[in-house]
Amino acid sequence: MDTIRAAGGNPLLVGGAVVDTLRGEDPKDWDIEVYGLSMAHVEQAVSQFGPKAVGREFGILTLGGTDLDIDVSVPRRENKVGTGHRDFEMEFDPGMTPLEAARRRDFTINSLLLSAEGEVIDHFGGLKDLEDGALRATDPVTFVEDPLRCLRAMQLLARKAQFVDFPTQALCERLVPLLKHLPRERLYEEWRKLLMLSWEPSMGLRFLAGIGGLTVFPELGVLIGCEQNPEWPPEGDAWEHTMLVVDAAAKVIRCQRTDLPAFPEEWREGLMFGAVCHDMGKPAVTAEELKAHGHDQAGEEPARAFMARLTNQKDLTRQVVTIVKEHMNVGHLSFAMQTVKRPHPMWRRLHNRWRLDVAGWFSRCDGLARRMLPPVEVVALEYHRPSAYCWQYFEELGEKPIAKLVEGRDLIAAGQAPGPHFGVMLKAAYEAQLDGADDKAELLAVALAANPL
């Protein structure tokens, strides 16, 4: 900011970094808006910090020459040229005043500005709203120009506020029907912030339901009123259960214990979206007696539809679908262990389909939420049998699927001519291996016996 001022600009810290600073938190991202300099002059002023062209068309430069995530922008003026929510012309306006620029921001807490000297500039009552925990639209006229703001309210409520004031909630309700016209990448980013950055995502999800937002995400909306057997999950319908599981998962990715397996970084997002989607199959299969047999398999299609509305990330969707389809198997196998009193071969098959450390953590979220324990107890509870079994087998089997002991070259060495029948033979040997056989000669004999020719 000193560098920009030396070049003749007036830099002000804006957005979430101001809120985080005032709340005594360390900002993750720093946004600096510069008044009085053109885009070209700003880029020249910050050239020593390695500005990147990302967002240049929107008047935004990302600085790569620091240890912080810093975006520098100039004010832009958006002029509505049509009736659609995309019908805008944008132009940079370095002569815009901080008051004018603050007015175009979504919520009053995000309209706060902070100078390099630490002076807070509050044009719209953002300080009072921040103190009260309120989300309030900065300007009702400009607020409704971007439908995404109803999802921004969803995620900001769970992260930085306690309630959305009634007039702003009414504005959000008006925007819901327009969400279907937005690119899925924009929708996904708000969902990602809700699930990955809040301690209690259910706050945002309940707000979304309250403004009618689940009409845009019907796979989630049908959980409301889908009753469950009170003898097993006593917390209410499938929606209430999902809220508990999502909050529990949020604790898992933040509150690791040194005496339990660390949650893998590459599965954090999959866990959160999987928690949202895991019971989406229940409405389709719940019977009169309130039993939902097969809801895990029935949930694959709605989970895929939900994720496709948000993203085309194949790996993330694969993780979510794995959780949906496999989450009941942990409990089934845990019960079987108590019955047969010996290692169950199906654990090895489950291991090949789903990382067992992740399975253990999700089983805690799902199983303990059913007992109506506070979400933090998912991490704090000393012992939970299904997850303990998962972690026991994960320690034994590792991260990767079990490697095949018998391969095609072994069949060739045994005098077999290659052909399609190799697939049948290798499958038979591998199934025997998963059942516990570990002698290669014995497994080769199984393969040869399975030769269909």
Domain ranges of the chain: 2-133, 146-214, 217-397, 408-449
Q: What is 2-133's CATH superfamily?
A: Beta Polymerase, domain 2 (3.30.460.10)
For residues 264 and 416, what is the distance between their CA atoms, to the nearest angstrom? 43
The total of other beta-carbon atoms located within 10 Å of residue 234's CB is 12
Q: Residue 288: pLDDT band by 50, 70, 90 thresholds?
A: low
Question: What does DSSP assign to residue 416?
Answer: P
Q: Is 453 exposed, middle or buried (0-12, 13-18, 19+ CB in 10 A)?
A: exposed
Three-state DSSP state, 390: helix
Query: How many angstroms separate the first and last alpha carbons of the chain?
Result: 77
Kindly report, residue by residue over 377-428, the tens digit of the pLDDT: 777 777 788 999 999 999 989 999 999 999 999 999 999 999 999 999 999 9
Q: Residue 83: pLDDT band by 50, 70, 90 thresholds?
A: very low
For residue 271, report the phi and psi dihedrals to the nearest 5 degrees.
Answer: -60, -45
Q: Look at the block and give the residue holding tokens 């009072």.
A: 128
For residues 261 and 258, what is the distance between their CA atoms, to the nearest angstrom? 7
Kindly report, residue by residue over 247-275, the tens digit of the pLDDT: 999 999 988 777 888 899 999 999 999 99
Kindly report, residue by residue over 314-371, the tens digit of the pLDDT: 999 999 999 999 999 998 898 887 776 556 688 999 999 999 999 999 999 998 876 6
The total of other beta-carbon atoms located within 10 Å of residue 338's CB is 8
Q: If residue 90 lies in a helix (H) or strand (E), which one and from where to where?
A: strand 88-92
- The strand ranges marked E within 109-187 are 113-114, 120-121, 134-135, 163-164
Q: Which residues contact 327 (CB under 8 A, 6 or more apart)?
A: 274, 278, 296, 359, 362, 363, 366
Residue pair 102/111 in contact (Cβ under 8 Å)? The answer is: yes
CATH 1.10.3210, applies to 217-397 = yes
Same CATH topology for 2-133 and 217-397: the answer is no
For residues 201 and 195, what is the distance between their CA atoms, to the nearest angstrom? 6
Which residue type occupies 282?
K
Position 96 pLDDT exceeds 70: yes
For residues 321 and 180, what is the distance between their CA atoms, to the nearest angstrom? 23
For residue 122, report the phi and psi dihedrals to the nearest 5 degrees.
Answer: -125, 100
Closest CA to 73 of 106, 113, 25: 113
For residue 130, what are the CA distances in angstroms to 112, 136, 143?
Answer: 10, 10, 18
